[in-house]
Structure 1
Amino acid sequence: MPFFYEEATTPQNRPLLRILARDEVTLADAEGLGARIEVGAPNHRWRILSIVEKGTEYSAGARKYFPSLQPKYGAIAVVVTSPIVRAAINMMMRLTGQAPNLRLFTTEAEGLAWLDELEI
């Protein structure tokens, strides 16, 4: 299972969905995330901290699906330490149009600080 979910809070006690991504993320995995943040679902419009492990890959179906999630979350901080995975995510963002509420970081602390600054 490429996505591991944990409900948590930010340092300022705001609701947070923490996602650990690894291996290959398929369309079914992306749709599973969509179900968690759909209108009426428990994590709708939450802040998301996504930790992407080195070697994580995204299927074409997942890459096409992710832009449809943009109105369903408050903001996403994506923590990527691998230059290869970072390049892949940057390419996805350029091809689909960058979401104003999605940013890449190299540490969890940076991502959490950004999420806490936002008024959602």
Structure 2
Amino acid sequence: MSNLSKILVVEDSPLLLLDLCDQLEEMGYTPVSATTAATAARLVDDTITAMITDIELGLGPDGLALARLAAQARPGLPIVVVSGGVIPTAADLPSGAIFVPKPYSLDAVLAALHSQKMATAA
């Protein structure tokens, strides 16, 4: 599991959010959930060790804006951005963040988070 213990999960679909959080808990992680970028932005603190965010979050800022804000507030924070509709360019993502298209496997998302953690540790 490494040092990625408390993962902020941002998803506006309640079923997808619940499913991902349940899967993370089963693997020993502590998910912290939010359904909007505004709520998630308030949760980004020193206890969060990684973030997974959907791009399309309904009204308000999107997941890309949230990812940029989180990367600025917490340089080196592993961030995975997911979407089933929007495919971001590399310029859309904050430095180091990785895009994983929906539908995704939990293994793919965790591999992306761990690869960032290892890159920042090197």
Tell me, in whole angstroms, the C-alpha distance in 2 between the residues paired with 1:31 and 1:16.
19
Q: Answer whether contact 1:75 1:115 (CA < 8 A) is retained.
A: yes
Query: Identity percentage over the alignment?
Result: 10
Query: What does residue 3 of structure 1 align with?
Result: none
Q: Which residue of 1 aligns with 2:95?
A: 100
Structure 2 unaligned regions, length at least 5: 15-34
Number of the residue aligned with 1:119: 120
Kindly report the root-mean-square deviation, in angstroms, between the aligned alpha carbons of the 2 structures: 3.4
Mapped contact 2:36–2:57 kept (Cα < 8 A)? no
TM-score in terms of structure 1 length: 0.52
How many matched pairs?
A: 91
User: How far off its partner does 1:36 sit?
Assistant: 0.9
Residues 109 and 12 of structure 1: CA distance in aligned 2, closer, same or farther (over 3 Å)? same
Instruction: Give the TM-score taking structure 2 as reference length.
Output: 0.51
**Corresponding residue of 1:77:** 80
Q: Aligned equivalents of 1:60 and 1:22: distance in 2? A: 10
How far the C-alpha of 1:76 sits from its partner, in A, is: 0.3
Q: In structure 2, what is the Cα distance between the partners aligned to 1:104 and 1:76? A: 9
Label 1:60 to 1:18 Cα distance change in 2 as closer, same or farther (>3 A): closer
Read off the aligned partner of 1:17 and give its amino acid letter: I
Q: Is the 1:77–1:112 contact (alpha carbons within 8 Å) kept by the matching residues of 2?
A: yes
Task: Kindly indicate whether the alpha-carbon contact (under 8 Å) linking 1:75 and 1:101 is maintained by their aligned counterparts in 2.
Answer: yes
Higher relative contact order, structure no. (Cα contacts within 8 Å, ≥ 6 residues apart): 1
Deviations 1:10-35 (A, max 9, x none): x22344314151439xxx82111111
More strand by share: 1
| Contact 2:8-2:40 within 8 A present in 1 as well | no
